[in-house]
Structures are given as C-alpha cells and as structure tokens.
C-alpha cells in the first residue's frame, strides 16, 4: 500500500516541483524553495499538501480487500530556514534539519485525518501572497518543544481547488509532510 501511495506522492512532487527529501515508514517529507528559488514556495507546498490528501483518500488500503477502505493521512507544513547536508559515511543520505523541520513535524502530528495543518509562519506568507488559499485559525495549541503556537487549517476539496469544507473519511494511516522558506518550505 505504501508503494502505491508513495508512487502517487512522487508523481505529485514532480507536478508541483516539490523536492522529496525522504520517506521513513509511513512518513513522507518534501521541501520547496531549496533546490531552486521558488517565489511561490508556500503556495506550492499548500497545493502539494492538498493533492496528497486527495490522492491518499482515493488509495485503497488493500486492493484485495476494498472493504478496508481508503488511506487517511494527516498533513502539516511550516515555513522557515533549514540546513541541508549529506550525512553519514556508510550510507550517505541527503537531509534537511533545523527548527523549521521539527515544527513541520509537529504540525503534522497535531493535525487530524484528511486535514492540512500549518504554522503561523506559513499562514502569514499565504495570506500576504496567496489570499485565494482559505485558512481558518485553529487557535493557540500546545506544541511539544515550542510551547503554545498559533496554527491554521488549510481547507481543500476534491475537485482541484481550495474551498472551506471538510473532507470524506475512510480507513486510516498517518503520513508526514512539510514546507521551508528561504528558508524553504518543509512538508512532513
């Protein structure tokens, strides 16, 4: 199931010009504005997040047992600076690290199935540069290692645009995604 799901995510990362960093178990991490300058980095990661939620909700958990339903993911993203590097000698791996990445992971872990959760840093960029993206304040919530943070829901629909509605619910699995600003956008 993860192979089928990640193949969809990989195709979406190419479609949105989002750079895939890694997958760890059921976690998928991607970033914008890292490999090349992307003025619209926050919008790209928001659209990528929307499309990954939609793709997951159309992916059967088990093709031989459709009664198990479809995959549900949680998504979170954040914008800010990151450090990128190749780490390790035996099995070198390109990765990104920093508070922005940690915060993106916290946005995901505090999200809900089929929901897109973003930090105030990302929301401010989206409000200023892409007001067409509907955001609703979630309010201040406790974030491990950060204290209370103002966070936002990014609303999505299943027809390709952004709307202020919830989605359908099926099956269940968790996934990570994020966004980093020139920073870059890190999607966990």
pTM for the whole structure: 0.84
Q: 171 pLDDT band (50/70/90 cuts)?
A: very low
Enumerate the β-bridge partners of residue 78. Answer: 186
Contact 116, 152 (CB under 8 A): no
Q: How many CB atoms lie under 10 A from the CB of residue 114?
A: 22
Helix (H, G, I), strand (E, B) or coil at 105: helix
pLDDT at res. 156: 74
Q: Is the per-residue pLDDT at 180 higher than 60?
A: no
Q: What is the pLDDT of residue 53?
A: 94
Give residue-wise pLDDT tens across range 94-151. 999 999 999 999 999 999 999 999 999 999 999 999 998 999 999 999 999 999 999 9
Q: Which of 56, 47, 88 is nearest to 30 (CA)?
A: 47
Distances (CA, A) of 182 to 32, 35, 131, 185: 9, 10, 20, 8
All domains of the chain in start order, with CATH: 2-187 (3.30.70.1230)
Across the range 162-178, mean pLDDT stands at: 37
Give, for 133, the enclosing helix (H) or strand (E): none
Span 54-59, average pLDDT? 94
**Could you give the CA distance from residue 97 to residue 42 in angstroms, rounded to a whole number?**
18
> Which residues touch 135 (CB under 8 Å, ≥6 apart)?
118, 123, 126, 127, 152, 153, 154, 155
């Amino acid at each position: 199931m993860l192979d089928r799901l990640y193949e969809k995510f990989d195709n979406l990362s190419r479609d949105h010009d989002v750079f895939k960093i890694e997958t760890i178990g059921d976690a998928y991490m991607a970033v914008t504005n890292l490999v090349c300058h992307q003025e619209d980095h926050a919008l790209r990661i928001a659209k990528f997040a929307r499309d990954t939620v939609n793709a997951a909700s159309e992916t059967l958990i088990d093709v031989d047992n459709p009664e198990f339903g479809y995959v549900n993911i949680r998504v979170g993203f954040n914008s800010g600076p990151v450090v990128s590097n190749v780490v390790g000698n035996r099995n070198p791996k390109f990765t990104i690290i920093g508070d922005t990445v940690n915060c993106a992971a916290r946005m995901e872990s505090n999200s809900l199935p089929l929901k897109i959760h973003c930090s105030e840093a990302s929301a401010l960029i989206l409000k200023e540069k892409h007001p067409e993206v509907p955001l609703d304040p979630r309010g201040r919530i406790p974030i491990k290692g950060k204290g209370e943070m103002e966070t936002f829901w990014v609303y999505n629909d299943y027809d390709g645009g952004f709307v202020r509605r919830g989605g359908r619910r099926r099956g269940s699995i968790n996934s990570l995604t994020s966004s980093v600003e020139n920073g870059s956008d890190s999607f966990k």
